[in-house]
């Protein structure tokens, strides 16, 4: 006798089909990557985002992560059938005037397009985000609280300009004269007028946003037209700071540790057999470290002037090291990319979750710092 068995629909699978990751359209993936770390957080000098795009439509099954995109790493990406390379450092930085086989960076573009591989770079956007490179580097110090050395401001703050100026005009003729001249000034935004009653008199109040440069011209104009008085207000428009976001980190250790202990922690975290050390004036390996300032990569400009017991970065100029040492600040250098590369493994896990496991995310095995001990 044939017996029918009822089963939940979720338990039924089509024979011969196994669960697998799906594909993502390149533009959908780029949008998701931009949501993971807004490119507006990158430094103005940086070259971030999608740098090389195969002709659409382009689907991505494998996302390949690397710190530096060298020719050796490119060949690895080709062999592993990558569809998009996420290179932390932008392989195209100085503008290319041609794409030939002559230079190695041109060859990267040629190879990428030949094999329909896109190239995306986040660089300093990943430095700024709370879950980025610098946050990962702080873990090498041990338990600590950290804040950005140079906080980022909200990129989507709607107000244009750096200043707002408001003033009153008592007659329509006077107002039109001034407004006609203001309209000739560059970098004036959001100019509005509205009626007000001042000291019992009906007047027109003018409000406008402007740049720092335009502010000087507006103030000079108001002074020439006798409108610069006690009723004039000048406000600085400050964009709100983004929490835990920005360049570099100032870390306060939960418990002070000796410099020698900190060195061992950093070597363990970065998986390095050695680091370079400059002892601050009056300091020894037994000196306690309570505050450490750090910046992944090249940290001179970010760390300069920060009060701390220790600077941790990849590289610094000779004279910036001398300045730090003279101020009693010890310096640990790990080579540029050694302070960044270890983040890729953590990044891979985060992106797998962020992209809802839709594509394969793999990390380069060939990527390495170009410097080695000889």
> Is 127 flagged in the annotation as binding?
yes
Written as six digits, the tokens of 149 are 């050395």
Q: Is 230 annotated as a binding residue?
A: no
Residue 87, phi then psi, degrees to nearest 5: -105, 115
Supply the DSSP string of 186-209, one letter for each residue: SSEEEEEEEEEEETTEEEEEEEEE
> How do beta strands 62-66 and 84-87 pair?
parallel
Interatomic CA distance for residues 168 and 78, integer angstroms: 67
Q: What is the Cα–Cα distance from 142 to 46, expressed in whole angstroms?
A: 31
Rg (CA), the chain: 28
Q: How far is CA 139 from the centre of its chain?
A: 19
**Side-chain half-sphere exposure of 99, counting CA atoms within 13 A:** 10
Q: What is the b/e burial string over 273-296, where b = at least 16 CB atoms within 10 angstroms of the residue's CB? A: eebeebebeebeeebebebbbbbb
d(CA 43, CA 228): 38
Which structure tokens are listed for 269?
Answer: 């975290």
Pair 338, 314: CB distance under 8 Å: yes
* 3-state SS, residue 236: strand
172-180 long-range Cβ contacts below 8 angstroms, 24+ apart: 172/204, 174/225, 174/227, 175/204, 175/206, 177/225, 178/206, 178/221, 178/222, 178/225, 178/227, 179/206
Q: With 0-12 CB in 10 A as exposed, 13-18 as middle and 19+ as buried, what is 368?
A: middle
The annotation places the binding site at 89, 127, 336, 340
Show binding-site residues for a divalent metal cation: 89, 127, 336, 340
């Amino acid at each position: 006798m044939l017996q029918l068995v009822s089963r939940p629909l979720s338990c039924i699978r089509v024979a011969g089909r196994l669960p697998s990751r799906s594909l993502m359209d390149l533009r959908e993936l780029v949008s998701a990557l931009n949501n993971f770390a807004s490119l507006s957080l990158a430094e103005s000098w940086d070259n971030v985002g999608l740098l090389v795009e195969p002709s659409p439509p382009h689907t991505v099954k494998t996302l390949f992560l690397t710190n530096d995109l060298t020719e050796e790493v490119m060949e690895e990406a080709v062999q592993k059938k990558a569809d998009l390379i996420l290179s932390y450092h932008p392989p195209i930085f100085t503008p290319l005037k041609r794409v030939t086989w002559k230079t190695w960076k041109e060859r990267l573009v040629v190879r990428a397009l030949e094999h329909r591989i896109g190239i995306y770079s986040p660089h300093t956007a990943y430095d700024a985000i709370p879950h980025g490179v610098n946050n990962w580097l702080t873990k090498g110090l041990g338990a600590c609280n950290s804040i950005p050395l140079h906080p980022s401001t909200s990129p989507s703050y709607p107000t244009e300009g750096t200043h707002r100026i408001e003033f009153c005009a008592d007659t329509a003729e006077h107002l039109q004269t001034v407004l006609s001249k203001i309209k000739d000034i560059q970098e004036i935004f959001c100019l509005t007028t509205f009626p007000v009653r001042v000291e019992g008199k009906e007047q027109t109040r003018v409000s406008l946003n402007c740049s720092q440069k335009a502010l000087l011209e507006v103030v000079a104009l108001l002074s020439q037209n006798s409108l610069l008085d006690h009723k004039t207000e000048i406000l600085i428009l400050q964009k709100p700071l983004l929490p835990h976001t920005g360049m570099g980190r100032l870390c306060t250790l939960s418990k002070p540790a000796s410099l020698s202990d900190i060195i061992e922690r950093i070597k363990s975290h970065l998986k390095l057999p050695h680091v370079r050390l400059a002892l601050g004036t009056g300091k020894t390996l037994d000196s306690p470290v309570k505050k450490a300032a750090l910046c992944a990569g090249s940290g001179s400009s970010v760390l300069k002037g920060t009060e701390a017991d220790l600077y941790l970065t990849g590289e610094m100029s000779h004279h910036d090291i001398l300045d730090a040492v003279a101020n009693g600040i010890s310096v640990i250098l790990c080579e540029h990319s050694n302070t960044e590369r270890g983040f890729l493994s953590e990044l891979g896990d985060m992106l797998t979750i962020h992209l809802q496991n839709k594509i394969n995310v793999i990390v380069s095995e060939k990527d390495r710092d170009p410097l080695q001990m000889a």
